[in-house]
Amino acid sequence: MLMKYPLDHPFSLAAEDVVKQIQTDIHKGISQNEAVKRSEMYGPNIFKRQKQKSLWWIMLVQFKSPIVYLLFFGAVVSLYFKDVLETIAILVVIVINALIGFFMEMQARSSMNALKKMDIILARVIREGKTRAIPSEQLVPGDLVPLEAGDIIPADGRLVVVNRLQCDESSLTGESLPSDKAIDALKEGTVIGDQHNMVFKGTSVINGNGKMVITGIAAQTQLGTISSLVASAADTITPLDKKLNKLSRKLIWITLGMTAIFAVTGFIQGKALLTIIETSIALAVAAIPEGLPIVATVALSYGMLLMAKRNAIVKKLSSVETLGSTGVILTDKTGTLTENKIHADTFAFPDENVKVHIEDHVLKFPEGVIKSSVENFNKLLLTGILCNDAVLSPNAKNKDNTKYSGDPVEVALFQIAIAAGLDTAVLLKQYVRIGEVPFSSEIMMMGTLHRTPAGDFAAAKGSVEQLLEKCSNVQSGAHIKVLDSKEKKEILSKSEQMATSGLRVLAFAYRSAKSLDAKDFMNNLTYIGMAGFLDPPRTDIKGAILNCRNAGIKVVMITGDHPQTALNIARKVGLIEQDNQKVITGKELPKSDSLTKEWRQRILDTAVFARASPKQKLEIADVFQQDGFIVAMTGDGVNDAPALKKADVGIAMGIRGTQVAKETASIILKDDSFTSIAEAVAHGREIFQNIQKFVVYLVSCNLSEIFIVTILGIVMPGATLLPLQILFLNMVTDIFPALALGLGSGDQTVMQRPPRDPKMNIITNKKWLTIALYSASITAAVIIAVVYCKEVLHSDDRTCNNVAFITLTFTQLFHVFNMSSAGDQLLNNEITRNKFVWIALIICSSLTFMVFAVPGMRLVLGLSVLSLKIWIVTIIVSLLPLITIQIYKAFSGKQQAKA
């Protein structure tokens, strides 16, 4: 059994206390022998391998469905009565459906493997005073690890030495800006995003260097915690699966009821037991919608192809339809609503504030900017370029493709200078750096000293409050005046306003003289102005969110970023109103097991959550699900993975998304655009309409078969449809028209209506009444044809059976035109415009004529060569249900119009 970790909250302890309690040395680390002992106590630095389900178990699970049980029952009974062909046909359906589910499940198995890819193969560690490279799984608590720019953090650790250290933790916390690291102790309860004296496994060092003492490995890291959350987040059964299973159970009870009626009636009439059993088998086969799982799968697969063209790659078939019933979209901020790139947004000068933006690589100023602000702006850009450690990337080719690496804020300064037309390379050559005061958490600023032919120039940037203490003057255009206390208060007030709006604020100052002391150039500076930096919203977001609102979909932002930054972006993208200040932070959010009714309602009413942990994202998704919403969750970071799995539909970003997020999600956006989500929702709604159409079609056809078998079994047993004839109808003349309905274009106004109630069945009570009408009209037509042939044409039982088969076949084929919406024209509607419907009718008609034309097939299905008169009668009678239903629809449409 592994020992308990020695430190629970290392961020709340002083660095020297951490070193002391964990028994290590800040210079030498631990010894090799001690490392071996600790490895035995705490185990390796790898995630616990989840025992995967066996392939056989995954295959068996595919058969866990009421409709599959019914199919198996039909196959067994058919085999008992030696109907081998019927048995084979049913089993083929079962196997095809199971294989599809099996391969989809196999694809989902890789979600946990993505986390393993984040394990580091080699890591540097200091043991016994010597730096060595070892496999990262051999790291133990207490190990001293040196950190440099470019390193991937191999474990969680407490920082003990820091030199301008910055880490990119966006994949873990959702914060766009790099985290500036320090070693000072923090308060208990400090959230991950604010734990600046800690570093976390899987994140990266982007600037500076330092040393950390490992305090957590494997499952005890933040990444390990997320790994366990992904594993524990239960996969929810999709609404479509639930509805299809519920429908199957209803059909089973209808079958049992009709079978019982027929059996009792047959027994009273004194019919032979074999006749009762054979007809009961026919009833069972008639009730089984063999084509339903296959048609649903093909329709959803077709939807997957169309959605792929709309930049949404669907990994889980049922997610296509589920997305269409989404009522809430929980979205990450960084990289989803925003560009995940830092830009200079606002400049505050002594005389005015100026908002700028870059368009086509050119800086755009608003109209009416005063001259003094322009002069200050130019001086600020010069200072920002000189007091800067960002470097030109080796692969940069031209001005439009100039790329810098380093601190994102410093990169943004270069970008805006280039957009303003400055030749940064020339300026850096003219101003030769001869001195530097590096940034540190103690002084909260940075300064550089430069030599030029005209004299020395000092450039400085940093915290507004700290930098002002070094300033004695303030510049306003060409004028420089003394910086008094009143001016300082005004500047500090401006900086607070900018920070409150979610901007990261830096102040800029300079000093120029013939000669400056390299040890004292950071005093008597001249203040220029401030710059506010922001990860801006994506340009297409506002319209996409508006479309979601019009469609009745609530969009909720959940981010690990600062509350004010989150609110600012939420306002910019139209997620909340400009005066809305409602935000819930992770710190104030109660634990899931102590959520009161009032807190649940508060969560449901809130659109912005900030400083949220991965576990809290999971819990917020659960609150919405428990309130009956179908939840879609978007994200791109490691921190989003648990909620992506928990949500009804997990949507990952394809470009910026981490491997973990993409493997866990059921849908991946190729373009990382929220707009693609709105388009995918629209298509999902269209698909549900198509599914509803073909389910109504299939069920009405199957019910009519049940009624026909029951009625003929009672009044004319010799004409009763045979099980294999019914199977032919279900597998051929039902499936192809149903498939055609599933591939229709759908209603183009779906995003102008609210999402449907997730509790609503595929077939509502109103639809059941419609199905009853459809089934009754089809049944009546078949009975009329059989009675006419028996009583008027004096046909024998075999011919009457064939008449029932032909009439039912063509009645069902014509019935597909009844699936048009009420009020549509008979010859011009979404069904008649669907090319797949006409292809299906041609295929089914051809197959029907073929089984009569080919002697072998005719014999297997118990069919005979029929006279032309019989064919004419059956075709004419087959049109009666279509004519009747269309007259009824036209009449009911007029009645509704009058109402």
pLDDT band at 119 (very low <50, low <70, confident <90, very high): very low
Strand partners, 460: 447, 509
Q: Are residues 25 and 127 in the same domain?
A: yes
Q: 667-669 and 649-653: which strand pairing?
A: parallel
Residue 374 lies in a domain: yes
What is the pLDDT at residue 208?
A: 81
Higher-confidence residue of 421 and 256: namely: 421
Phi, psi of 792, deg, nearest 5:
-95, -45
3-state secondary structure 656-723: CCCHHHHHHCCEEECCCCHHHHHHHHHHHHHHHHHHHHHHHHHHHHHHHHHHHHHHHHHHCHHHCCCH
Strand pairing of 357-359 and 362-364?
Answer: antiparallel
539-552: b (≥16 Cβ within 10 Å) or e: eebbebbebbeebe
- Where does 22-65 have alpha helices with state H? 32-42, 55-61
Residues 106 and 121 reside in one and the same domain: no
Range of the domain at 782: 239-311+683-898
Q: What is the pLDDT of residue 506?
A: 94
Supply φ then ψ for residue 424, to 5 degrees: -65, -35
- Alpha helix (H) ranges present in 358-476? 371-386, 408-419, 424-430, 464-468
pLDDT of 753 over the 90 cut: no
Mean pLDDT of 99-125: 54
Instruction: Please answer whether residues 474 and 530 qualify as being in contact, where contact means their C-beta atoms are separated by less than 8 angstroms.
Output: no
Q: What is d(CA 770, CA 864) in angstroms, rounded to the nearest whole number?
A: 35
Point out the domain boundary residue: 94, 111, 128: 111
Q: Which residue type is seen at 771?
A: I
User: Which residues, other chains included, contact 30 with Cβ-Cβ below 8 Å and sequence gap of 6+?
Assistant: 23, 24, 38, 127, 128, 140, 142, 143, 144
Q: For residue 5, is it within any domain? A: no
Q: Quick one: 742 and 690 in the same domain?
A: yes
Instruction: Show the 3-state SS of 263-297.
Output: HHHHHHHCCCHHHHHHHHHHHHHHHCCCHHHHHHH
- Can you give the pTM of this predicted structure? 0.63
For the segment 774-786, the average pLDDT, to the nearest whole number, is 94
Alpha helices in 288-394 (DSSP H): 291-309, 319-324, 371-386
Most confident region among 340-344, 582-586, 686-690, 754-758 by mean pLDDT: 582-586
Q: Which pLDDT value is given to residue 116?
A: 44
CB 327 within 8 A of CB 685: no
Residues 657 and 758 both lie in one domain = no
Do residues 600 and 651 share a domain? yes
Same domain, 95 and 41: no
pLDDT over 60 at 670, yes or no: yes
Domain termination residue (choose one: 524, 546, 578): 524
Residue 603's pLDDT is 93
317 with 306, same domain: the answer is no
- Which of 171-175, 287-291, 478-482, 857-861 is the most confident on average? 478-482
Residue 447 belongs to a domain: yes
Q: For residue range 133-167, what is the model confidence (pLDDT) as tens digits?
A: 888 888 999 999 999 877 888 889 999 988 888 88
pLDDT confidence band for 8 (50 / 70 / 90): confident
User: Do 65 and 37 belong to one domain?
Assistant: no
- Do 23 and 155 reside in the same domain of the chain? yes
Tell me, yes or no, if 332 is annotated catalytic: yes
Three state DSSP letters for 243-260: HHHHHHHHHHHHHHHHHH
Same-domain pairing of 39 and 66 = no
Domain count, the chain: 5
Q: Are residues 630 and 487 in the same domain?
A: no
Q: Say if residue 842's pLDDT is above 70.
A: yes
CATH number at 428 reads 3.40.1110.10
What are the pLDDT digits (tens) for 16-49? 889 988 889 888 999 999 999 998 888 888 766 5
CATH number of residue 542's parent domain: 3.40.50.1000
Task: Name the pLDDT band for 838 (thresholds 50, 70, 90).
Answer: very high
Kindly name the residue from 332, 345, 456, 636 that is annotated as catalytic.
Answer: 332
Q: Are residues 652 and 794 both part of a single domain?
A: no
CATH number, domain of 768, equals 1.20.1110.10
- Domain end marker among 610, 638, 672: 672
pLDDT for 734 beyond 60: yes
